[in-house]
Amino acid sequence: MSKVVTAVTRALGRAIRAVPDSRQKQIDREMANLIIQSGGRLTDSLEFEMIERALGRASHLLGNNADGTSI
């Protein structure tokens, strides 16, 4: 392979790996904000909301609509 193809392949690989990392960081920030807004208490209802939000972000990967129904 030429140096250009190798460089492009490496750059593309880094970009593809960065997308899930970026999404995870966004979800982590959102979860932290929810806990802060609750005064630091992790209740069952807050835990449920956190799970719903996390799955809502990933629902397109699971083949579901935001309301949980199949696409």
Q: Provide the pLDDT confidence category of residue 71 given band limits of 50, 70 and 90.
A: low
Element (H, E) at 15: helix 3-37
Two tokens, residue 59: 């629902």
Helices 44-62 and 3-37: crossing angle in degrees, nearest 10, is 150
**pLDDT tens across 51-67, in order?**
888 887 555 455 555 55
What's the rounded Cα separation, in Å, for the pair 65 and 32? 25
Look at residue 39 in the predicted model and tell me its pLDDT: 92
Q: How many DSSP H helices and E strands does the chain contain? A: 2, 0
Prediction pTM value: 0.52
Q: What is the pLDDT of residues 10-57, one digit of tens each?
A: 877 877 777 777 888 888 888 899 889 999 888 888 888 888 888 875
